[in-house]
C-alpha cells in the first residue's frame, strides 16, 4: 500500500492513470445503471453483454468463435466486410481463455482496454500540446517573464501538476455521446487506440512508430490507410520548422527531398497502408478477391447516390429516412468541427477527420455517427473548444458537458433497445 502511495506521490503518469481509471469506472458504472433502468422499464432481465452487443457486434462474436466464413446461400452478407485486427485480437484472447470467457465478454474486455489506453494516450497528448504551446509562447514573447508563463502552466496542470484539465478529454472519450460503441464488441475502440497512438508518436516525432500504428489502424478499418495524409502533414510541418526557404514551391520541393533523404520517414509512410494490403492478400487466398471487403458492401445496401454531395443532399433534405436526415446534419456539424480544428492549427487531425468522414459519405450517411466518434480526432476538437471556455463562458462548458451526459444516457437507452437510429 505504501508503495502505491509513494508511486502516487512521485510518478505523474501513475497519478494520471488512477484518475483516469476512476473516470472510466464511473462511466462503466453508469452503463450498468442504465442497464437496470432499461430492464426495469421494459420488464426484462437482460445481461449487460447482451444489451451492449447489438448489430455488428454479433458478427464480431461469430468471427471470434469461428473466424472468417463464407456467406450462406440465403444471405450474401459476409464476415470479410469486417477488418481483421480486432477480430484477431478477440479470437486470440478467446482461444487463450479456452472458451471459458464467452465471445461477447472477450469483445467487451478488448474494447474497454483499448479505449482506456487510447484515453490515457489522448490525455498525455493534449497535456503536452499545451506544454509545447507554452514553450512556443516563451520563445515568441521573450519580454514576458518566465515566471508568469510558469504560472499559466500550473493553471493548466492543476495544483498538483497532474494535467487535471487534460483529463477532460478522457471524460469525453468515456462518456460523450456515442462513446458506448467503445464499450461494446465493436472495432471502434481499437481503431481509436491506434489513431491516438499514431498522433502521440507524431507529437514525439517518432515517425517510423507512427507508420507502424497507422499500419495497425489500417488493419482495423480501411480509413486507417488515410493516416498517411496525416503523417505527410506532420512531416511537412516538421520540415517547415527547419526550412530556410520562403516560397511555397521551394518548400514543397525541399520537403520531398528532405523526406526521401530520411529512410525512417520513408518507411514510416510506406508502412501506413500495410494492414489493409495484408488483409487484401489474405482475402485473395481466402475467397479469391482482394477487394472482397469492398465488393461485399452491396449485400448491405443497394441504394446508389452521387458520392458525398449527393449523399449529403439526399440525407439533409429528408429524401431518405428521418434518421439519415439527422445523420446528414450531424456530418455537416462534424465538418464544422474539423474546419475549426484546422483553424486552431490541428492541421493533421483536421485533415484526417475530414477524409475519414468523406470516405463513408461516398456511399451513404449510415453509421456516420459511429464512424465519426471512431475516428478519434473529434474528441481533440471538442476538447479544444471546451478548454477555451473560461471565465464568463465557463457556464457554457458545463452546460455542454451536461448535455453530452444526457445525450449519452438517452443514446445508451435506445442502444439497449436495439434502435436502428444507432446502426
Partner 1 sequence: MSNELKKTPGRGHKAWLYAVSLVLVVFYILVLYLGLKPNVGIEYKMYYISHELSDWPGFGKLTYSLGTKEICTGYLDTDGHLVPYKVCARKGQGWNRWQYYGSSNNARESSIYYLLDEDSQSSSYTIEIVDYSGKGKVELYRGDQYLGEFSDKGIYTYEVGSLEKGELIKFTFKSDSDVEFRIWSAILDK
The pattern of x and - marking residues 60 through 79 that bind partner 1 according to CB under 8 A reads ----------xxxxxxx---
Residue closer to partner 1 (CB basis): 287 or 339? 287
Residue from 46, 50, 284, 300 that binds partner 1 (CB under 8 A)? 284
Contact between 205 and partner 1 per CB under 8 A? yes
Segment contacting partner 1 (CB under 8 A): 3-11, 123-131, 164-172, 297-305?
A: 297-305
- Site residues for partner 1, 96-155, by CB under 8 A, read none
Q: Of 104-112, 243-251, 259-267, 319-327, which part binds partner 1 (CB under 8 A)? A: 259-267
Distance of CA 90 to the CA centre of its chain: 19
Between CA 326 and CA 128 the distance in angstroms is 36
Q: Quick check: 233 binds partner 1 (CB under 8 A)? A: no
3-state helix, strand, coil in the chain (%, to 5): 75, 0, 25
Q: How many CB atoms lie within 10 A of CB 417?
A: 14
Q: Does 302 bind partner 1 (CB under 8 A)?
A: yes
Q: Where does residue 397 rank: exposed (0-12), middle (13-18), buried (19+ CB within 10 A)? A: middle
Could you give the angle at which helices 347-361 and 227-242 cross, rounded to 10 degrees?
160
Among 69, 270, 396, 414, binds partner 1 (CB under 8 A): 270
Cβ neighbours, 10 Å, residue 241: 7
Contact 193, 115 (CB under 8 A): yes
Whole-Å CA distances, 45 to 184, 264, 313: 19, 55, 42
Q: Which stretch binds partner 1 (CB under 8 A): 120-128, 172-180, 256-264, 312-320?
A: 256-264
Contacts for 178 with CB less than 8 Å, ≥ 6 apart: 369, 370, 372, 373, 408, 411, 422
Nearer to partner 1, 8 or 347 (CB): 347
> Does residue 300 bind partner 1 (CB under 8 A)?
no
d(CA 77, CA 190): 23
Q: Which of 280, 342, 385, 401 binds partner 1 (CB under 8 A)?
A: 280
In the complex, the smallest distance separating the C-beta of residue 271 from partner 1, rounded to whole angstroms, is: 7
Choose one: 21-29, 162-170, 282-290, 400-408; the region binding partner 1 (CB under 8 A).
Answer: 282-290
Taking every pair of C-alpha atoms in the chain, what is the biggest distance, in angstroms?
Answer: 75
Write the DSSP symbol of residue 76. -
Minimum Å gap between C-beta 206 and partner 1 is: 6
For partner 1, the binding residue among 43, 98, 288, 391 (CB under 8 A) is 288
28 touching partner 1, by CB under 8 A: no
Asked whether position 238 contacts partner 1 by CB under 8 A, the answer is yes
d(CA 281, CA 166): 41
* Residue ranges that bind partner 1, judged by CB under 8 A: 70-76, 204-208, 238, 242, 262-267, 270-271, 273-274, 277, 280-281, 284, 287-292, 295-296, 298-299, 302
Amino acid at each position: 500500500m505504501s508503495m502505491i502511495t509513494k508511486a502516487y506521490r512521485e510518478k505523474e503518469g501513475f497519478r494520471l492513470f488512477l484518475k483516469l481509471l476512476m473516470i472510466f469506472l464511473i462511466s462503466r458504472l453508469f452503463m450498468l445503471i442504465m442497464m437496470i433502468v432499461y430492464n426495469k422499464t421494459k420488464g426484462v432481465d437482460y445481461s449487460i453483454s447482451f444489451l451492449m452487443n447489438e448489430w455488428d457486434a454479433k458478427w464480431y462474436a461469430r468471427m471470434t468463435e469461428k473466424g472468417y466464413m463464407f456467406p450462406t446461400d440465403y444471405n450474401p452478407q459476409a464476415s470479410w466486410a469486417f477488418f481483421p485486427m480486432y477480430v484477431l485480437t478477440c479470437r486470440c484472447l478467446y482461444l487463450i481463455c479456452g472458451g471459458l470467457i464467452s465471445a461477447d465478454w472477450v469483445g467487451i474486455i478488448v474494447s474497454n482496454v483499448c479505449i482506456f489506453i487510447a484515453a490515457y494516450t489522448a490525455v498525455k497528448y493534449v497535456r503536452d500540446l499545451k506544454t509545447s504551446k507554452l514553450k512556443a509562447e516563451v520563445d515568441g514573447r521573450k519580454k514576458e517573464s518566465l515566471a508568469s508563463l510558469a504560472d499559466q502552466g500550473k493553471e493548466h496542470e492543476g495544483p498538483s501538476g497532474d494535467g487535471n484539465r487534460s483529463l477532460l478529454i478522457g471524460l469525453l472519450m468515456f462518456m460523450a455521446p456515442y462513446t458506448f460503441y467503445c464499450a461494446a464488441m465493436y472495432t471502434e475502440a481499437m481503431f481509436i487506440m491506434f489513431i491516438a497512438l499514431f498522433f502521440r508518436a507524431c507529437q514525439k516525432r517518432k515517425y517510423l512508430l507512427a507508420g507502424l500504428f497507422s499500419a495497425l489502424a489500417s488493419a482495423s478499418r480501411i480509413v486507417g490507410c488515410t493516416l498517411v495524409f496525416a503523417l505527410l502533414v506532420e512531416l511537412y510541418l516538421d520540415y517547415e520548422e527547419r526550412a530556410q526557404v520562403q516560397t511555397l514551391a521551394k518548400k514543397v520541393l525541399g520537403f520531398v527531398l528532405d523526406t526521401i533523404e530520411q529512410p525512417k520517414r520513408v518507411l514510416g509512410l510506406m508502412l501506413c497502408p500495410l494492414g489493409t494490403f495484408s488483409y487484401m492478400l489474405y482475402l485473395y487466398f481466402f475467397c479469391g478477391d482482394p477487394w472482397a471487403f469492398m465488393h461485399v458492401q452491396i449485400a448491405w445496401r443497394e441504394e446508389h447516390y452521387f458520392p458525398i454531395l449527393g449523399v449529403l443532399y439526399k440525407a439533409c433534405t429528408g429524401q431518405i429516412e428521418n434518421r439519415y436526415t439527422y445523420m446528414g446534419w450531424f456530418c455537416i456539424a462534424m465538418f464544422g468541427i474539423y474546419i475549426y480544428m484546422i483553424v486552431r492549427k490541428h492541421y493533421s487531425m483536421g485533415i484526417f477527420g475530414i477524409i475519414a468522414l468523406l470516405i463513408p459519405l461516398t456511399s451513404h450517411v449510415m453509421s456516420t455517427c459511429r464512424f465519426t466518434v471512431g475516428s478519434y480526432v473529434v474528441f481533440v476538437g471538442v476538447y479544444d473548444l471546451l478548454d477555451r471556455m473560461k471565465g464568463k463562458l465557463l457556464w457554457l462548458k458545463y452546460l455542454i458537458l451536461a448535455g453530452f451526459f444526457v445525450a449519452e444516457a438517452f443514446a445508451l437507452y435506445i442502444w439497449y433497445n436495439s434502435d436502428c437510429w444507432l446502426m
